[in-house]
């Protein structure tokens, strides 16, 4: 992707660097994959940290949405969002006005609302046909409740319509949901570096029929229940591991340990 200031409608890796927005497409079942990036106003790593932790994280993105103060976080990454969403509580009112005057599309919301700015940004991306959404700035920071609410956003799209992930420099969080009825299985590929940690945490209810491949501690058609930490801190043995699920939901948390060990002051990973 070009970040050197040269004019270009689309970056070398597919980023839309201008203001053009894909039109609202309604349902995206059976449509060509559309990747979107949402930048929220939480802790957003540097571009170099993201590149080191998740090579290719920015590939083929077609739509960038900033959630309020995420506009400046996106700018720090060398990105110019195609859409600004929010209530102007973290990005000052005069900045909203200035960006609107520049022609930036804005979906303004009232301060008193039921949704978070990150949720509104995700909904905006889904309305525009996004099938794969990466959210930066959703983890860490001083508000643990915000981080938990952002994890809840993984379940916002209807099953089978879109995949959402939360990303920071060392962590990727995704949600695996089994089809209704328990007659079929859902599978998630776990691409990454051997030695990375993979935690499988049941969400909301017990997760049944959990089967893994390529992890140090294998699971074969097993049940993980909320509470016990049985699925915590498994280890990827190969670059392409996988997990499948017959019933329930699994929160899949991958941690890049090779990046952690390169950082000074890193403690025990257990």
Task: Give the tens place of pLDDT for each residue, 187-245.
Answer: 999 999 999 999 999 998 999 999 999 999 999 999 999 999 999 999 999 999 999 99
Give the mean model confidence (pLDDT) for residues 118-131. Answer: 94
Q: Report residue 24's pLDDT band, with 50, 70 and 90 as the boundaries.
A: very low
CB contact at 8 A, 100 and 122 = no
Banded pLDDT at 33 (limits 50, 70, 90): confident
Nearest-angstrom CA–CA distance, 147 and 140: 7
Phi-psi label, residue 257: left if phi above 0, alpha if psi -120 to 50, beta otherwise: alpha
Q: Which residue would you say has higher pLDDT here, 38 or 14?
A: 38
CATH 3.40.50.10240 is the classification of domain 6-169: yes
- φ/ψ region of 19 (left if φ > 0, alpha if ψ in -120 to 50, else beta) reads alpha
Which letter does DSSP use for residue 40 in this model? -
Per-residue pLDDT, 114: 67
pTM reported for the whole predicted model: 0.83
Residue ranges of domains in the chain: 6-169, 170-264
Q: List the strands of the sheet with 106-108, edge to edge.
A: 106-108, 83-86, 61-67, 35-39, 132-136, 163-167, 171-177, 249-255, 197-202, 234-235
Q: What pLDDT shows up at residue 225?
A: 96
Q: Is the CB of residue 47 less than 8 Å from the CB of residue 15?
A: no
Residues 113, 111: Cα–Cα separation, whole Å: 6
- Comparing 98 with 167, which gets the higher pLDDT? 167
Whether the pLDDT of residue 4 is over 70: the answer is no
Q: How confident is the model at residue 180 (pLDDT cuts 50, 70, 90)?
A: confident
Same fold across 6-169 and 170-264: no
Q: Does domain 170-264 have CATH number 1.10.10.10?
A: no
Query: What is the arithmetic mean of pLDDT over 84-98?
Result: 79
Question: CA 57, CA 78: separation in Å to the nearest integer?
Answer: 14
Which pLDDT score is estimated for 12?
Answer: 30
Which region among 12-16, 33-37, 156-160 has the lowest average model confidence (pLDDT)? 12-16
The CA-based diameter of the chain, rounded to the nearest angstrom, is 58
């Amino acid at each position: 992707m070009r970040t050197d200031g040269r004019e270009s409608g689309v970056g070398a890796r597919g980023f839309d660097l201008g203001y053009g927005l894909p039109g609202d497409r309604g349902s995206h079942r059976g449509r060509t994959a559309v990747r979107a990036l949402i930048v929220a106003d939480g802790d957003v790593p540097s571009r170099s940290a993201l590149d080191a932790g998740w090579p290719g994280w920015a590939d083929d993105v077609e739509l960038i949405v900033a959630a309020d103060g995420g506009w400046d976080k996106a700018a720090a990454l060398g990105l110019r969002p195609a859409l600004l969403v929010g209530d102007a509580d973290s990005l000052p009112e005069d900045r909203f006005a200035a960006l609107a005057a520049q022609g930036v599309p804005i979906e303004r919301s009232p301060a008193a609302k039921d949704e978070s700015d990150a949720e509104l940004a995700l909904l905006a991306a889904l309305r525009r046909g996004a099938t794969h959404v990466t959210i930066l700035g959703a983890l860490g920071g001083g508000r643990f409740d915000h981080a938990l609410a952002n994890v809840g956003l993984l379940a916002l799209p209807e099953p089978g319509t879109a995949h959402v992930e939360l990303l920071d420099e060392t962590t990727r969080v995704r949600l695996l949901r089994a089809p209704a009825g328990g007659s079929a299985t859902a599978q998630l590929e776990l691409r990454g570096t051997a030695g990375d940690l993979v935690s499988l945490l049941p969400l909301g209810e017990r997760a049944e029929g959990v089967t893994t491949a390529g992890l140090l501690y294998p699971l074969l058609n097993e049940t993980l229940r909320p509470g016990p930490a049985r699925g915590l801190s498994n280890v990827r043995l190969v670059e392409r591991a996988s997990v499948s699920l017959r019933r329930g939901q699994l929160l899949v948390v991958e941690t890049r340990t090779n990046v952690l060990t390169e950082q000074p002051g890193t403690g025990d990973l257990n």
